[in-house]
A and B are shown apart, each in its own frame.
Chain A
Amino acid sequence: MKKVFACLLVLALFAGVCFADEAKLKGIDQLKTERLAAQRGTVGQFLAEDLLGDKKGELLTTFEKYVDAIASLRQGKVRAVVMDEMPAKRFVNEVEGLVIMDEALSEENYAIGFKKGNTELVESVNKILAEMKADGTLAAIFAKYIDGDYSAVKPEDIDFNKGAEGGKFYVGTEAGFAPYELRVGSGYIGIDVEMCAYIAKKLGKELVILNMNFDALPTAVSTGKVDMICAGITVTDERKENMDFSDNYVVGAKQVAVVRADDYEK
């Protein structure tokens, strides 16, 4: 009996290497019947679910980390990963053999999330955001990251306002979403991180970043673990029911599908 199992195990291992050839992808519509991947709790997941309809249970795989989704794309376990354009660009630049499909799935706006009913904080953050937009601070932060190369940005250069008298200001994020937030050594860099550092400073508080999984962020802010969550969060009607949002700080962020270059025909 054990020998049979041993043989079966070996056979199964060998079978794993063989993949059948499939016709190349041409457009977004084709994804409706393909195996897709997305990061859990993101808009990419919701879009993939809409695309697949009834077949989502069978065809959609969700991951905690983008890196895992990209790995399963490269291994041929899924045919496309639905995600935000900016991090997708970084993947395509740094990982060989990946491309972004020409057509975008949708365009979204990013905002900061707060506990439902925390109007006072939302208003003061909105005021600071408006100032940042008006005096060019926000544009300057974006300019640092927009070309995809931010190896010059060091975590220690970002002022977290350590030891501020106003106490600590907790912000939840998922630091695997470059260029918005990324863990580097024992610190953080990214557009969101610098923006939050500026907001915390204006509030007279010390910024403390809690790095958690994306799908844990809504829980963290609604239970009061963190004051706000800032992780390139797309504003959706469903999310608005459970949390309050600041004004948008990114408008028209595209949601795209990343596919293997040899699997895509324009």
Chain B
Amino acid sequence: MITRNKRSGAGRGDILLGIVGVYLVYLLYASGFFTAAAWQDFNRRFYQNFIKDDRYMMLVDGLKSTVFMTSGATVIGVIVGLILSVIRVAYKGGVHIPVLNKFAETYITVLRGTPAMVQLLIWNFTIFASARDLNTQYIAILAFGLNSGAYVAEIFRGGIESIDPGQMEAARSLGLTYGSSMRHVILPQALRNVVPMLFNEFIALLKETSIAGYIGIDDLTRAGQNIQALTLEHSQPLVMVAIIYLIIVLFLTHLVRKLEEWLSRGRR
């Protein structure tokens, strides 16, 4: 069993969290949240927001869209990131193709140096301005995927560079070319190192897709806003959306942890 680095007793963070928690409960109490009338009101609004006319289906459809965009962007992100990182590493490792390296460098600088929101708007309203029959979700997938690719490239590069240079030297001295040493020796080890970080990137991506409403996609966040516009109720739809995001993120985080344990199995 792996023992984690746990501090005994409560840390400062726990105390702060406690204070904030007590304060929030106090706020709820002060606003009459714990009275029977408030509960009835809460239930009535809950019915209006989610049950009436099957409005929860708007959230379900939104969730589908969020998951679809995240998975599509993930695939593009991994492919683009892998290609970019190999270009960058190969340049340092002696395979000099200056044009490609410059391209990869510029790509990473520009896409990491500008907000995803601005990129999304540019993709939709400038680059794909005339592509009207194209489903907007595909534009979003492309925008998020290419953006994520820049971050993934840096994650991969870190992973590849963390492999001892001796591995490459050994593979080359056995007569393998640079390409096959990379493919068969370095990348399999690097991938194992970067998988947890990659997962974290995709958890971040999932949350980032919440800006897709700006180009007219009814994702999970936008579905919450659509319910708000229907019922004129501000808090419940948003809190529900937050809870759904949190559940997915917690589930994915759990997966990463399991994966980490599985990957480190048999390492020593």
Cβ contacts A216-234/B at 8 Å (1 or 0 each):
1001100111100000000
**B16-A66 in contact (CB<8A):** no
Asked whether, in the complex, the Cβ of A2 is within 8 Å of the Cβ of B232, the reply is no
Task: Please report which residues of chain B, range 1-48, place their CB below 8 angstroms from some CB of chain A when the two chains form the complex.
Answer: 12, 15-16, 19-20, 23, 27
Known: A67-B225, A183-B229. A210 touches B136 (CB 8 A): yes
Listed stretches A41-49, A87-95, A131-139, A156-164; interface member: A87-95
With beta carbons under 8 angstroms apart, the residue of B23, B130, B133, B226 that contacts A183 is: B226
Q: Which of B141-149, B210-218, B251-259 forms contacts with chain A?
A: B210-218
* B228:A67 contact, CB within 8 angstroms: yes
Q: Give which listed residue, A65, A94, A184, A224, contacts B130 with CB less than 8 A.
A: A224
Determine whether the beta carbon of B226 is less than 8 Å from that of A216: no
* A71 touches B (CB below 8 Å): yes
**B interface residues, Cβ below 8 angstroms from A:** 12, 15-16, 19-20, 23, 27, 53-55, 57-58, 61, 121, 124-126, 129-130, 132-133, 136, 213-216, 218, 225-226, 228-230, 232, 234
A52 within 8 Å of B by Cβ?
A: no
Chain B's closest residue to A13 (CB) is B23
B-chain residues with CB within 8 Å of residue A71 when the two chains form the complex: 234
Q: Which residues of B contact A184 (CB under 8 A)?
A: 53, 230
Q: Which chain A residues numbered 164 to 184 have a C-beta less than 8 Å away from chain B?
A: 168, 170, 172, 175-176, 178, 182-184
Q: Are A10 and B23 in contact (CB under 8 A)?
A: yes
Residue of A nearest to B58 (CB): A185
Task: Considering the complex, give the chain B residue whose CB is closest to the CB of A183.
Answer: B226
Contact A182 B229 (CB under 8 A): yes
Q: Which 10 A-B pairs have the closest CB atoms?
A: A176-B229, A223-B129, A212-B216, A71-B234, A67-B228, A183-B226, A210-B216, A6-B16, A94-B232, A219-B125
Residues of B within 8 A of A211 (CB): 216, 218
Binding site for B on A (CB under 8 A): 2-3, 6, 9-10, 13-14, 17, 65-68, 70-71, 74, 90-91, 94-95, 168, 170, 172, 175-176, 178, 182-186, 210-213, 216, 219-220, 223-226
Give the Cβ gap from A207 to chain B, nearest Cβ, in Å: 13
Please determine whether B225 and A220 come into contact, CB atoms closer than 8 angstroms: no
Chain B neighbourhood of A219, CB < 8 A: 125
Report the bound CA distance from A174 to B132 in whole Å: 18
Output the least CB separation between B194 and chain A (Å).
Answer: 33
Q: Which residue of A17, A210, A216 is within 8 Å of B214 (Cβ)?
A: A216
